[in-house]
Structures are given as structure tokens and as C-alpha cells.
Amino acid sequence: MAKTEVILTHNIVGLGAESDQVKVAAGYARNFLFPQRLAIPMTGANKRRVEALKHRRAEREAHELNTMTELSKSLSKLICVVTVKTGEDGKMFGTVTAGMIADQLKTQFDVSLDKRKVHIEHPIRTLGEHEIELRLHADVVTQLKLRVESSTPAAAPAAEAPSEGKREDYRTEKRGRRPEAAPGDKADKGARPERAQTGDRRPPGPRPAAPRGDRPQKAEKPKPAKAE
């Protein structure tokens, strides 16, 4: 593939910055870089523009450095909250990604940050507090406090088992048992009251039968008269 040398007029990620002289595919330069005015051909006339491009590049990089320095001071004071789904045992489904953190920075603090600037050294698979490194600039690196929370509602705690005393009271009420009456309380309604002590108390045993003369006579039924 034929190569051609060009002078970049704008910063292109992965290729170079203003005033850089790079070699690219001729078709890429002809069909993309030149029409978009991102580069100019390497010619004697264009070489005189290199100094102007270098000056503009220095101003841009100084501005970016100041902006990222101020941003790092603000981000170091913030706590970014990321909500994830978890199982009943509290374990996360998957990990927290740089894209998720960048999205939450935009949503919570209106900070637009390229996810490639979010550096996660070890995969985040647990809830709680974490620290994430943000590489905002070649000369600016800061730490971001990250809090990972679960979006799954916590399970309700199990009901406390009744103690031995409460369990015994519960059984007593369920079976219908009545507590023993204290001295001085009213006599149990189911108990048979004792007879009063009197002088004419009858001795135990079967009662004597009443004399026949004292028994009431049954009325005799009238006999029907015979027909004549």
C-alpha cells in the first residue's frame, strides 16, 4: 500500500497532534484527512506553517492542562454512586465497568469524561467503597471515590422465635388451660360448692322411699259406657 507524508493540522487520537509529520496511506489521506482539513500534504510551502501549528498546539495543551487540573480537584471531593443488581446472597451480577462510571459522572455531576480516562486496576465485583484512578491528562492523575450499592431490596429479617416462657403461655392459651387461682380469688365456676354445715345434715347414702300413703293417687280413667 502506497504511503504519503502529511502534516497534521489537528489533534487526531492514535495518530498525532498539530504540527506532527506522519506517514499514512495515500487513500486515507486523500479521502479523509485532506477533505476534513485534518492534515495538509508535505510540501515546501506547507513546511512554513509548521511553526504556527506548533504555537497553536502549545496553547491548546496548556488550556487542557489547566482544565484537567481544576477538574481533578473537584472530582477528588466527590463520591460517585453506581447501582448494580445483586442476588439474594448480596453477590453482584457482573462487574462495574469504566463506561458505567463515566455515565454516572455525567448523570450525577454533569461531568463529561471519556471512559478511556477511567482506569480500573482490578475488576470491581463487591459492594461498598472503592477508589478509582482517573488519568485525566498525561500530567494529571487523580483518585475518585466510588460507592457501589445494590438495587435489589434487602430481604425482610425472619421473625424472632418465642422464648420458653412465651411458648408455654402460648400453649396454655391454645389448649384452654386456666391458670391456678390465687388464694382469695373467687372459686372456680366449674367446681362444686360445698354444702353449708347445718345440724340437720342428712347422712350419705340413698334417700328413704316415701310411704305409699303419702304418694299421690293416680286418677282413674272413666270407662266408656256400653251401648244398650
At residue 76 the predicted structure's pLDDT band, cuts being 50, 70 and 90, is very high
Q: Which pLDDT band, with edges at 50, 70 and 90, does 187 fall under?
A: very low
> What confidence score (pLDDT) does residue 81 get?
95
Distance between CA 21 and CA 5 in Å, rounded? 7
Among 150, 170, 199, where does a domain finish? 150
The range of the structural domain enclosing residue 23 comes to 3-69
Q: Are 118 and 80 in contact (CB under 8 A)?
A: no
Point out the domain boundary residue: 15, 46, 69.
69
Query: What average pLDDT does this structure show over 109-120?
Result: 93
pLDDT computed for residue 104 by the predictor: 95
> Which of 150, 180, 195 finishes a domain?
150
Which pLDDT value is given to residue 218?
A: 56
Is there a domain that residue 222 lies in?
A: no
Q: How many domains does the chain have?
A: 2
DSSP letters for the chain: --EEEEEESS-BTTTB-TT-EEEEEHHHIIIIITTTTSEEE--HHHHTTHHHHHHHHHHHHHHHHHHHHHHHHHHTT-EEEEEE-B-TTS-BSS-B-HHHHHHHHHHHH-----GGGEE-SS-B-SSEEEEEEEEEETTEEEEEEEEEEE-SPPPPPPPPPP-HHHHHHHHHHHHT--PPPPTTSPPPTTSPPPPP--TTPPPSSPPPPPPGGGSPPPPPPPPPPPP-
Q: What pLDDT shows up at residue 129?
A: 94
Q: Is the pLDDT of residue 115 over 90?
A: yes
pLDDT exceeding 90 applies to what percent of the chain?
Answer: 44
Quote the Cα angle for 71-135-68, to 5°: 25
* Domain co-membership, 129 together with 114: yes
pLDDT of residue 27: 92
Q: What does the pLDDT read at residue 166?
A: 55
Average pLDDT for 34-42: 91
**Considering only 14-18, 23-27, 185-189, which range has the smallest mean pLDDT?**
185-189
Whether the per-residue pLDDT at 221 is higher than 50: the answer is yes
Residue 218 located in a structural domain: no
pTM (predicted TM-score): 0.55
For residue 228, pLDDT over 50 is answered with no
Q: Band the pLDDT of 224: cuts 50, 70, 90.
A: low
Query: Strand pairing partners for 7?
Result: 21, 40
Percent of the chain with pLDDT over 70: 66
Q: Are 52 and 100 in a shared domain?
A: no
Domain assignment of residue 212, yes or no: no
Give me the CATH number covering residue 113.
3.10.430.100
